[in-house]
Amino acid sequence: MIKIIILSAILLTSLFFTKTVRAGLIKNVADTSIYDFKVDGLEGGTIDLSSFKGKKIMIVNTASFCGNTHQYADLETLYEKYKDKLVIIGFPANNFGAQEPGTNVEIKEFCTKNYGVSFPMAAKVSVKGDDIHPLFKYLVSEAGKIGFTDPIKWNFTKFLLDENGKLITVIHNKKSVLDADVIKLL
């Protein structure tokens, strides 16, 4: 009887840890895709990444008080030019130098007022450390498969995924998305 209880506990624990991606059981982690993720939006609601199937997706960790914050303007320019085939999603994070201390409301106001951001923005998350958001844990894992170890070194690291949800590349936090090398990937 004790063996059955122990085996049941091990099985349940194993199932829990291998199938949990967000709040709920969806798939085995090895079978997870970008399209399995739903994230809270900056203004409320949910951003369902599966709604972007067929488009390239650029996921960017952002911050309002960073030396790279001016990149919001480049991201907005890129989004406006290519929004028929590319979606950009900003993820405010306070992981580096406490450069995103604001609330979701303050972040939205800052992005709209200063940069006219119209691309989707997620609610503030953690992109590194023990409290890393599951989406960024997934992206870091996928980046490792294509040779990027510890890809998130600072604010404005960009993950570019193809129309099928496969990670193409990680774009360094200092590199502009308007650079010719980035544009040719679109």
Residues with catalytic function: 66
At position 180, the amino acid (one-letter code) is: A
Cβ neighbours of residue 37 closer than 8 Å, sequence gap 6 or more:
21, 22, 49, 134, 135, 138
- 75, 186 in Cβ contact below 8 A? no
CB 28: neighbour CB atoms within 10 A?
11
- 136, 98 in Cβ contact below 8 A? no
- What does the alpha-carbon distance between residue 37 and residue 144 come to, in Å, rounded to a whole number? 19
At position 54, the amino acid (one-letter code) is: G
Backbone angles phi, psi at 47, to 5 degrees: -100, 115
